[in-house]
Every structure is written in structure tokens, then in C-alpha cells.
């Protein structure tokens, strides 16, 4: 049957190399006889490196102009003297708040990265744009000294966030649509990947209706699972069962690609993304972000229904919380690995009775830059330590047919703060030039997490999950601190 359709297509003048087979082995062709996929369009295969550079420059210029004109920020009042001063004095460790350094800067790096990806550059070709965009900002566009932590987080974390948002936006766009459905897809695409949306507006792709080259993702080649859950989350104060805080939550999860595919092995052809949003007024809006992207992999064992895949993965993990309302002043947990990469092993075991799917995943990674809660350091906006270290992650996933699924996870993070502050008097030191990673020592966080989903229908299920956090921070100049707590969630999940 497939050869019949292929023969018809070739007779119509369509090269066999341009065809894509659907799950029914029928080539997916547009009414014109051309491919339906945008990546087959010769125009989309062209690279525009200088246009990408101009976009990155425009991002920096636009943000700087907003800071200067709208916010009247002192740090934006730059001149040639401030630029020369920054270059001469070099990089320091800055004292911005946790969310700024370990989320906002990586997100900003994703904008630089997507200025290249949306102009035809591939993954590796887009990496320098994150680095150079950050380097330009740090040395030229603010009066404060350039920060080494910003350069690392913006570059490496930006690559992870940038590639994932680029690929998720592929799932949104469909150039066949018109009217309100088209507006909604373009709007959602802009929320996910703003730089790409601006590029589509400038080129006219945002409103151009096509009969071919209109799809941006091939689900047969790269399958995608999506789920969204909403409900009630309880976070305990200092590990107290009856003293805590409850808030609505929203969780979005994406599993992109097949981790065992031998045919698709480009960077991020497989990734997972998990976003946790707190909808209350006290806890952070973004309480958790967990990204895992495969850079390369190879099969190491295939036997009947059992498979094992070894690879290298990029990690981005972000946990944030605030002290529970009307409770103690203790922050429940706060840790991040903004730049991390390392090896991983994924096993898939044969089906056993009602256990229709069983996967085991083990990851080890080096943390180039991370942040962990401090009990003592408090300079300007910073109450956390920065440094480098490592992490281990063990994930078990079980699926029980139409009944539901169970996942068990254990993550361990260890971050060392090498360049420590000894608690000296700051009266004679400009805190902008303190140049400290925080309190010298190391911080460990062990997170146990379990989640059970009970199916109510094909797409709807009950979502139960709980996590336990064990923190131990060892200080060179202060008393060590141990702190434990937990949170739990219950809600409804919709899956596709």
C-alpha cells in the first residue's frame, strides 16, 4: 500500500525524499501535491545569521531603553566610561534575588537563542548568540559590574529554555487556520516563544494562509504527550503536619519525542518539561521548573521488549518557595541547577501482567552553576549561596493500562560554595563589588516525589502527588542547619 502511494507521488513529480509517511503509511501531502511540513519549505531552510544578530541586539537595546526611559533605573545610565570601567574591572558574583539570577537570566538567554533558531540556525549554531548577547549586556548595558553567574546562567540555561520553547511553539502553529482560531494559535505561540512570534510578524508569516508547508511538527516522527493539571496544594511549615499553607496550583507537563528512537538523535529530539505554578498571593508564581533535554544517545541493549539507552543530557531544575503565611519565618526550600549536564541511562522493561509500561531512569550530572538557600548570607537582594557541584536523579515510571500510572522519583543535589563571605563588616565595602558566592560551605537537598494518576476517562484523571524535602547545609563560619518539610497536591489532570 505504501509503495502504491509513493509511486503516485513520484509520478506527480514529487521527490521521494520530500515525503513523510503517516501512521497509515500514506504520504502526507498538501492539496498542491507538496509537503505539508514547514521544515520542507526551501525558504525555511535558509539561514540568516546577520538577521539573527540584529534580533539579539534589538532585544538588548529594547530592554535597556525600557529600564532607562520607563523605570529611570540608575544602572541603565551608561556611557563610554562605565563600559570601559566594566571591562577593566572584570566579572564578579552579583547579589540579585534568586528568581532574577536563576530564572529570569536563563529565560533572557532563551530569547537570544531563539533570535537565531527563528532565523534558520540549528541548535549548535544558536548557542553563541546566547553567550554573546549576555556578554554584551553584562559589559556594556548597565553600570553595575558584569556578573560571572549571569553569563553562565544566561548562556547555558538559556540554551535549554530556548530550545524547548522553540520546539513547543512548533506544536502550536498551523498556517491553514484563519480568523479567531488563527489569532489564538499566534497568541499562544507568542506567549511560548516571543522572539519567534516577532519574527513571524515581521515576515508576514503570522497571517499568511498556506495550502502547503503549513504544519511545523511531525507527530509520527516525534510523538508528543501533553498534560495539564489544576487543583489544591498544601505546603507544610517547618515539617509540621497541621501548620501550613494551601493554594491553588497549575501543572503543565510535556514529554517530547521517543527516548528509544534510533532515527531521531539531534539535540532535544527528546526532552521533558514540567512547570509548576502557584496561584496564591504568598508563594512564588513559578514554584518549580524541571527541564531535561537529550543532547546525544545510543542504544546499549535491545532484547525483545527490553531496551536500554545511554546518553548525555542537559538539566535545568528550579525549586522556589516563600515562608508559609502566619507560620515561622523559615523558607521551606530553595535550590536551582541553572547550568548542568551529564550522562544518563534509560531502561524500558517488558510488560508484566497489568503493568503495561515500566521505565527506569538514572542521571548523574555536573552542576556548573547552581543556587541554594542560605540561613545567614543577606546582601542587597540575595539570601542564597551560589556555586557548583553535582546531582543524582532516579526516576521510576509505571503504567497500569487504563487504570492509571505511578511515578517515584528521588533527586539529590549538592552545591559547593567556594568563594565565601566571612561575615566581615560591609561599611568599607561597596556591596556591588563584594564578589562572593555566599557563605562558604556546601548545601545538600534530597527530594522524594511520588505521583499517582487514576484515570476517570480517556483524557481525564485524578492527580495525587506528594514531595518530601530534606536539606542539610554545612557552613565554614556558621552553625550547620538541617531543615525538612513536605508538600502535597490533589487535582484533576487532562492529558493528550
Q: C-alpha grid cell for residue 237?
A: 511549615
What does the pLDDT read at residue 423? 67
Domains and CATH numbers, the chain: 2-30 (no CATH), 42-203 (no CATH), 224-495 (2.40.160.40)
Q: State the burial class of residue 241 (Cβ atoms within 10 Å of its Cβ: 0-12, 13-18, 19+).
A: exposed
Element (DSSP H or E) covering residue 54:
helix 49-65
The rounded distance, in Å, linking the Cα atoms of 241 and 130 is 44
Separation between Cα atoms, residue 191 and residue 184, nearest integer Å: 11
* Whole-number pLDDT of residue 24: 39
Contact 395, 422 (CB under 8 A): no
CA-to-CA distance for 448 and 469, rounded, in angstroms? 7
175 closest CA partner among 166, 164, 186, 165: 186
pLDDT digits (tens, 9 = 90+) for 389-417: 999 999 999 999 889 999 999 999 999 99
Which SS3 state, helix, strand or coil, does residue 208 take? coil
Extract the residue ranges of the chain whose pLDDT is less than 50.
1-26
What is the pLDDT, as a whole number, of residue 425?
Answer: 67
46-65 burial by CB neighbour count: b if 16+ within 10 A, else e? eeeeebbbebbeebbeeebe
Which DSSP string corresponds to 437-464? Answer: -BSSEEEEEEEEEEEEEEESSSSEEEEE
Query: Residue 327: its pLDDT value, please?
Result: 84
Amino acid at each position: 500500500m505504501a509503495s502504491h502511494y509513493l509511486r503516485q507521488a513520484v509520478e506527480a513529480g514529487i521527490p521521494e525524499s520530500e515525503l513523510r509517511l503517516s501512521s497509515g503509511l500514506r504520504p502526507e501531502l498538501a492539496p498542491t501535491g507538496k509537503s505539508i511540513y514547514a521544515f520542507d519549505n526551501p525558504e525555511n531552510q535558509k539561514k540568516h545569521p546577520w538577521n539573527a544578530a540584529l534580533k539579539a541586539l534589538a532585544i538588548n537595546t529594547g530592554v535597556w531603553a525600557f529600564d532607562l526611559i520607563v523605570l529611570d533605573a540608575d544602572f541603565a545610565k551608561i556611557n563610554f566610561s562605565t563600559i570601559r570601567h566594566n571591562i577593566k574591572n572584570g566579572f564578579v558574583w552579583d547579589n540579585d534575588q534568586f528568581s532574577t539570577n536563576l530564572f529570569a537570566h536563563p529565560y533572557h538567554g532563551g530569547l537570544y537563542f531563539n533570535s537565531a533558531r527563528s532565523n534558520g540556525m540549528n541548535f549548535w549554531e544558536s548557542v553563541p548568540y546566547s553567550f554573546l548577547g549576555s556578554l554584551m549586556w553584562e559589559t556594556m548595558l548597565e553600570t553595575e559590574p558584569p556578573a560571572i553567574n549571569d553569563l553562565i546562567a544566561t548562556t547555558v540555561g538559556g540554551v535549554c529554555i530556548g530550545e524547548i520553547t522553540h520546539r513547543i511553539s512548533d506544536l502550536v502553529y498551523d498556517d491553514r487556520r484563519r480568523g479567531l482560531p488563527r489569532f489564538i494559535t499566534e497568541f499562544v505561540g507568542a506567549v511560548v516563544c516571543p522572539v519567534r512570534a516577532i519574527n513571524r510578524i515581521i515576515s508576514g508569516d503570522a497571517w499568511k494562509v498556506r495550502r502547503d508547508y503549513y504544519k511545523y511538527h511531525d507527530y509520527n516522527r516525534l510523538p508528543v504527550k501533553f498534560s495539564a493539571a489544576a487543583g489544591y496544594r498544601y505546603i507544610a511549615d517547618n515539617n509540621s503536619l497541621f501548620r501550613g499553607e494551601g493554594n491553588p496550583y497549575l501543572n503543565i507537563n510535556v514529554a517530547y519525542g521517543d527516548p528509544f528512537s534510533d532515527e531521531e538523535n539531534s539535540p532535544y529530539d527528546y526532552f521533558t518539561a514540567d512547570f509548576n505554578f502557584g496561584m496564591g498571593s504568598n508563594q512564588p508564581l513559578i514554584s518549580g521548573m524541571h527541564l531535561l533535554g537529550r543532547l546525544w544517545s545510543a542504544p546499549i541493549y535491545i532484547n525483545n521488549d527490553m531496551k536500554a539507552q545511554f546518553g548525555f543530557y542537559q538539566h535545568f531544575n528550579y525549586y522556589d518557595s516563600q515562608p508559609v503565611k502566619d507560620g515561622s519565618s523559615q523558607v521551606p526550600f530553595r535550590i536551582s541547577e541553572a547550568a548542568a549536564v551529564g550522562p544518563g541511562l534509560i531502561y524500558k522493561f517488558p510488560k508484566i501482567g497489568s503493568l503495561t509500561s515500566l521505565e527506569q531512569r538514572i542521571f548523574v550530572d555536573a552542576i556548573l552553576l547552581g543556587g541554594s538557600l542560605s540561613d545567614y548570607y543577606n546582601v542587597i537582594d540575595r539570601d542564597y549561596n551560589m556555586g557548583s557541584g553535582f546531582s543524582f536523579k532516579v526516576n521510576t515510571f509505571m503504567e497500569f493500562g487504563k487504570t492509571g500510572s505511578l511515578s517515584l522519583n528521588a533527586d539529590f543535589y549538592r552545591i559547593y560554595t567556594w568563594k565565601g563571605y566571612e561575615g566581615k563588616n560591609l561599611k568599607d565595602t561597596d556591596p556591588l563589588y563584594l564578589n562572593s558566592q555566599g557563605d562558604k560551605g556546601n548545601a545538600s537537598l534530597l527530594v522524594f516525589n511520588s505521583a499517582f494518576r487514576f484515570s476517570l476517562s480517556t483524557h481525564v484523571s485524578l492527580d495525587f502527588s506528594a514531595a518530601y524535602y530534606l536539606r542539610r547545609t554545612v557552613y565554614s563560619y556558621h552553625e550547620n542547619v538541617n531543615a525538612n518539610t513536605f508538600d502535597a497536591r490533589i487535582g484533576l489532570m487532562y492529558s493528550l
